Structure 1
Amino acid sequence: MVGSPVSGPDAATLAALNEDHVGNVFLKGRSYAGTDVVAGVVASLQAQVSAPGTAGVRQFIATDQEGGMVQIMNGPGFSDIPAAVVQGALDPGQLRADAKLWGNELAHAGVNVNFAPSLDTVPGADFAPANAPIGHFGREYGYTPADVSAHGVAFAQGMADAGVAPAVKHFPGLGRVSANTDTTSGVTDGITVRNGPFIAPFRDAVRAGVRWMMISNASYPSIDPGEIAPFSSIIMRGMVRDDLGFTGIIVSDDICDAVQLSFAAPSDRAADFIAAGGTMALCTNQNILPQLSQGILARQAADQAFAAVVDAAALKVLEVKAESGLLSAG
């Protein structure tokens, strides 16, 4: 999945779609132009599907529309969505209805995946300001796994009711870290364990039928002391697939610009993510994406076992696209 400015694809994004045959797009940045303008941008992206190599398979078009400070799309036709910490004070039934409305707005603009809700449990209001990625921005639904589950799952169900796939994140949770993986290296959660209480919201979301799960970029030494989460087969195969029974798309957080991944060569990042059990690598920096794509292709050509893993990941994406009505009739 390649990044594109929400104002419209640039040359690097178009090259990723037409030359590297990337099949999915993340709309990034901030727009105040409204639903009709965003719909035009999406139409310009969808027009690339006719290019050779796409076989008529339509794109997942994703964005971040959590609410509060994390709302990429604004303006006429888009609601001002409150932050998750405010949503957490609503009755879950009301939140589900509200999320359906917000999802309908995305659907009108042509967006079919929302990288939300965040099911990260911040362990207390006192710690929230020090929790750079979540609590600092009010992205938490509450301070217990039960509260996060009740309201986060309601948000996810509302999105699904509108025909927009929710992607729950950031497994196994960013609520206990201090630094932000986007801007800092060495971000570590030494608290979360494999079968601990903070996993519960994700388990409940899987039971509710979500088909997308985003993996955190942090390190979890009490789960896997050897690898950060996006390179951990223990986390993705052992926990997400085996423990939770999740059968959908495992998507990475951004692995191109995140400082947490600066130790790894871009040509290795997507390949290592897929090798460890990931399904779809997210690269929000369209200028770096060719290095990720080339890394996958080079390893695929040299390693038959890895090639089989790539094929399985591609098939999983196609299966979920079929469920979503994105495969051509032919």
Structure 2
Amino acid sequence: MDKKFVMGIVLLIFLGIVIGCSKDVQEDKRDEKSPQQDMEESQKEKDPIQEKIQEMTVEEKVGQMVMVGLEGHSLDEHVQEMIENHYVGGFILFSKNIENPQQLVNLTDDLKNANGKNSIPLFLSIDEEGGRVSRMPPEFKKLPPNGAIGKKNDPMLSHEIGRTIAKQIKSLGFNMDFAPVLDINSNPNNPVIGDRSFSSDEKIVSELGIQTMKGIQSENILSVVKHFPGHGDTDVDSHLGLPLVNKDIDELMELELLPFKKAIDNGADTVMVAHILYDKIDPQHPATLSKPIIQGILREQLGFNGLIITDDMTMGAIMENYDIGEAAIQSIKAGSDIVLVCHEYENEVKVLDALKNAVENGEIPEDRIDQSLYRILKIKKDYGLADEKIEDIEIDKINREMGRILENF
């Protein structure tokens, strides 16, 4: 055999071994990771919220997706049951629950204390808009309605009002405010909005509404903008019946939806959906039960990724037209994250049982409620919610701030 040929073969084998070893070394180096890289990848893989969700029962998950009201000025057996057996995610209080500041602090403290065995803190919410929608005890000074604020049209003043409202309710144990109203007062026959709206001008509503929202958020209070997609052009009070708005999506995008879109672009993290039938968009369901409105418009077209809460499901718009349990199921299927049930223990139990059964029988997939649950737990974590007692109400200090604001009117 030719020596040159043999030497060539040997050289090729040698080069193959060298290249192969070099490749193995390079791959070994790529496989080597610093402790920092290992830790970062481990943190990415371990999402504490997902881990918490995996530990929860169906009852616990469904409970977090329901906020309820209560009767009287203190806890009773029904409230205890809502917390201990149904694991509700939060409470909303009304004037009927409030006598004076100290009683109110005792009540919010008692709710937190009752929830102590649960690892997830409560939403404690209230409608505090100013004007005629105010639940505050008489010891606090009263702010003017949004309509009067709109006439001043001062964004800095609106921010200060939002911040002061947040300080006020925080001092009483709340962590969520169903405000501001982003409805445009476009219908003079509207029986429910009126001066709760900043203006009939969408630019004023948008700018002042966003500043009020940011003022509320600046005190680490959740601001729930409402009433999506817009309650301004209705002539029926949804507390009593189901309003009908005969507008299509293009018409809504030209007016009613503009403040909500701008608020979303400016950091809105919670939206309340209204009980209004938009028959050109969904002739069968009001907005609170409508997938084309909640999923199609709010989520997809407006790009909202935050928390969606229904208006009170015990209002006439729902109770006069639907079974409340079935309505709650439809609302969750449509894309709502939290169902609000403000009145009567029997209604609260009916909603909780209906949702639990719908998950267990497969009508609502469990991964669907896990999506909502993730948003709920994340926002509670982001806002640092905790079931801590209130130490000082600071009525005089807050009233002084209110007084400075009232000098502008």
**TM-score w.r.t. length of structure 1:** 0.91
Q: Is the 8 A contact 2:314 2:324 kept in 1?
A: yes
2:134 corresponds to 1:71: yes
Match of 1:208 among 263, 266, 285: 266
- Name the residue aligned to 1:116: 179
State the structure with bigger RCO (CA 8 A, min sep 6), 1 or 2. Answer: 2
Q: Higher helix share goes to which structure?
A: 2
- Name the residue aligned to 2:321: 263
2:87 corresponds to 1:21: yes
Paired AA for residue 42 in structure 1 = T
Paired AA for residue 244 in structure 2 = T
Q: Counterparts of 1:148-227 in structure 2 under 5 Å?
A: 148-184=205-241, 186-191=242-247, 193=249, 194-227=252-285
2:164 corresponds to 1:101: yes
Q: How far did 1:307 drift?
A: 2.0
Q: Deviations over 1:17-61 (max 9, x none)?
A: 22211121111235664443322211011012123xx2x211110
Q: Deviations over 1:65-92 (max 9, x none)?
A: 001110011333x330111101112311
Q: Is the 8 A contact 1:31 1:73 kept in 2?
A: no
CA RMSD of aligned residues (A): 1.9
Question: Could you say what secondary structure the match of 1:179 adopts?
Answer: coil
Return 5+ residue gaps in structure 2 as ranges.
Answer: 1-66, 388-409
Q: Output the CA distance in 2 between the equivalents of 1:30 and 1:290.
A: 21
Q: Is the 8 A contact 2:333 2:364 kept in 1?
A: no
Q: Counterparts of 1:1-330 in structure 2 under 5 Å?
A: 1-5=67-71, 7-30=73-96, 33-51=99-117, 54=118, 56-76=119-139, 78-90=140-152, 91-123=154-186, 127-128=187-188, 130-135=189-194, 138-184=195-241, 186-191=242-247, 193=249, 194-287=252-345, 288-303=347-362, 306-326=365-385
Q: Is the 8 A contact 1:192 1:198 kept in 2?
A: no
Q: How far did 1:304 drift?
A: 6.6
Q: Output the CA distance in 1 between the equivalents of 2:214 and 2:248.
A: 26
Q: Which moved more, 1:154-163 or 1:34-43?
A: 34-43
Cα distance change, pair 30–3 in 1 and its aligned pair in 2 (3 A): same
Q: Output the CA distance in 1 between the equivalents of 2:338 and 2:75.
A: 20
Q: How far did 1:234 drift?
A: 0.9
Q: Is the 8 A contact 1:67 1:84 kept in 2?
A: yes
Q: Is the 8 A contact 1:237 1:276 kept in 2?
A: yes
Q: How far did 1:322 drift?
A: 0.9
Question: Could you say what secondary structure the match of 2:169 adopts?
Answer: helix
Q: Output the CA distance in 2 between the equivalents of 1:86 and 1:30.
A: 27
Cα distance change, pair 192–141 in 1 and its aligned pair in 2 (3 A): farther
Q: Output the CA distance in 2 between the equivalents of 1:224 and 1:304.
A: 21
Count of residues paired in the alignment:
317
Q: Which has the larger Rg?
A: 2
Q: How far did 1:62 drift?
A: 0.5
Q: Deviations over 1:149-199 (max 9, x none)?
A: 111111111111122111000100111110111112x31011363533210
Q: Output the CA distance in 2 between the equivalents of 1:27 and 1:122.
A: 26
Q: Output the CA distance in 2 between the equivalents of 1:294 and 1:31.
A: 25
Return 5+ residue gaps in structure 1 as ranges.
Answer: none
Question: Could you say what secondary structure the match of 2:368 adopts?
Answer: helix
Q: Output the CA distance in 1 between the equivalents of 2:243 and 2:323.
A: 18
Q: Output the CA distance in 2 between the equivalents of 1:198 and 1:313.
A: 26
Q: Deviations over 1:99-128 (max 9, x none)?
A: 2112101111111110011111122xxx43
Cα distance change, pair 101–92 in 1 and its aligned pair in 2 (3 A): same
Cα distance change, pair 6–243 in 1 and its aligned pair in 2 (3 A): farther
Q: Output the CA distance in 1 between the equivalents of 2:74 and 2:266.
A: 34
